Amino acid sequence: MPHLELSVTLRADQQAAVEAALEEVGALAVTLLDADAGTGDENAILEPGVGETPLWPSLVLNALFETDVDRSGLVHVLADLVPQLAPDQLVFREVADADWTRAWMDQFQPMRFGERLWIYPWNIEPPDDPARVVVRLDPGLAFGTGTHPTTALCLEWLDGLDLRGRRVLDYGCGSGILAIAAALLDAERVLAIDNDPQALVASADNARRNGVAERIDLAGPGAGAGGEGNRFEVLVANILAGPLQELAPVFAERIADDGLLALSGILVGQHEDLLARYAVWFDDLAVNIRDGWVRIDGRRRRR
């Protein structure tokens, strides 16, 4: 059964009121997109500060409705709420129904990272091979399937470590893919942190389905701090360059002496400043590059 999609271009300060009104009149789903995407800066990335969830200055709001919704009623609601919107800013179109989960699953195939680690979708059964460490994944609404170079670089790094008996901090856990991989690679305990509540929901569900929920703690920023007795032997942060700059002293405090660090979500050209920043606390800093994205590895200097 097809649906009706309403698209409207807004300023960020208009989004909350418009979204609330559309949900009140029956929107089945609302998505937000960067209105300026593809208009010149193809590498533009929204870099939130720690604990922030900002929006683009100009955005496109797409709201999905049943096909029999009163279009004129929707227009009147928006005209009352945001009178400065011109009629030509409101675009209606019919969209075909689809099994979105199935469409995603059909495109997601098993992937190998390093020597042991594999990511499998739930619709494909992995072979009975004790040499394989298999993460089963449905990312839901959060980032992290292994297909992005930053995630792949972090998975390969984890695969190359001996995590037995080690405590791991995954900062910016998204779908939970790195935390789950660490647990399946025999980490003793994993703390997965994210500032997005939906990411924590997705991570919790994925951890449960992979049978490692009892060894993964989930929390928002600020959790797990508190001195020498609560430091981690391994820390991985797949976020963005801006937050990584801000978090350098936090990571330096939360990782144990000789502990291992991996940073990703970094574009080529951003890594030089980060290398200088982290060299204050970390030795053996190394750079790995894939498809324009960078992973920085290092070891915590003894205090």
Give the tens place of pLDDT for each residue, 190-224.
Answer: 999 998 888 899 899 999 999 999 999 999 987 65
Residues 112-133: tens digit of each pLDDT: 999 999 999 887 899 999 999 9
- Examine the pLDDT at 231 and tell me if it is beyond 50: yes
The per-residue pLDDT for 172 is 94
Query: β-strands 58-66, 3-11: how paired?
Result: antiparallel
Helix axis angle, 197-209 to 177-184, nearest 10°? 30
Residue 166: pLDDT over 70 = yes
Percent of the chain with pLDDT over 70: 84
- Give per-residue pLDDT as tens, 255-280: 999 999 999 999 999 999 999 999 99
What pLDDT score does 85 carry? 79
Cβ of 104: how many Cβ atoms within 10 Å?
14
The Cα–Cα gap between 200 and 193 comes to: 8
CB of 116 closer than 8 Å to CB of 134: no
Higher model confidence: residue 35 or residue 114?
A: 114
Query: Which is higher by pLDDT, 149 or 82?
Result: 149
Identify whether the C-beta of residue 177 lies closer than 8 Å to the C-beta of residue 144: yes
- Measured between alpha carbons, how far is 1 from 15 in angstroms, rounded to an integer? 28
Domains and their CATH numbers in the chain: 3-97 (3.30.70.260), 102-300 (3.40.50.150)
For the four alpha carbons of 4, 17, 175 and 154, in that order, the dihedral sign comes to positive
Q: Rounded to whole angstroms, what are the CA distances from 181 to 57, 63, 255?
A: 36, 35, 19
End-to-end CA distance of the chain: 63
User: CA-to-CA distance for 216 and 192, rounded, in angstroms?
Assistant: 7
pTM for this model (two decimals): 0.71
- The CA R_g of the chain, rounded to the nearest whole Å, is 22
pLDDT at 101 (0 to 100) = 53
What's the whole-number average pLDDT of the chain? 86
